[in-house]
């Protein structure tokens, strides 16, 4: 009888550790051909990226204007 009590406690501990490990890890899930993220993405911190200029090539455009102005100034 004592052997059965220790076996049931061991099973309960193993099951508890297994459930804790499963709930602590976030796994991707494949449902209907889609790869869905783990539910932990909802608690992830949001990173802020400052908005950049609307025209992405502003430095290149300024360099081209400066080159054209330099060419016009050098031509007789």
Tens-digit pLDDT profile for the chain (76 aa)?
A: 555 657 778 788 887 776 666 555 567 777 888 888 877 777 878 788 888 878 889 899 999 999 999 999 998 7
Closest CA to 27 of 18, 36, 17: 36
Per the structure, the complete domain to which residue 72 belongs is given by 49-76
- What per-residue confidence (pLDDT) applies to 2? 58
| Separation of first and last alpha carbons in the chain | 110
Closest CA to 58 of 70, 50, 66, 47: 66
In a domain, 56, yes or no: yes
- What per-residue confidence (pLDDT) applies to 13? 84
The C-alpha angle with vertex 41 and arms to 37 and 43, in degrees rounded to 5, equals 155
Q: Is the pTM of this model over 0.75?
A: no
In a domain, 55, yes or no: yes
Instruction: Please count the CA atoms within 13 angstroms of the CA of 52 that sit on its side-chain side.
Output: 6
In a domain, 61, yes or no: yes
In a domain, 25, yes or no: no
In a domain, 26, yes or no: no
In a domain, 44, yes or no: no
Q: In the beta sheet, which residues pair with residue 36?
A: 29
Number of domain units in the chain: 1
């Amino acid at each position: 009888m004592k052997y059965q009590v220790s076996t049931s406690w061991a099973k309960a501990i193993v099951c508890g550790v297994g459930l804790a490990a499963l709930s602590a890890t976030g796994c991707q899930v494949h449902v209907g051909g889609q790869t869905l993220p783990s539910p932990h993405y909802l608690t992830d911190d949001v990173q802020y990226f400052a908005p950049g200029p609307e025209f992405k090539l502003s430095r290149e455009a300024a360099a081209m204007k400066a080159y054209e102005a330099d060419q016009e100034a050098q031509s007789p």
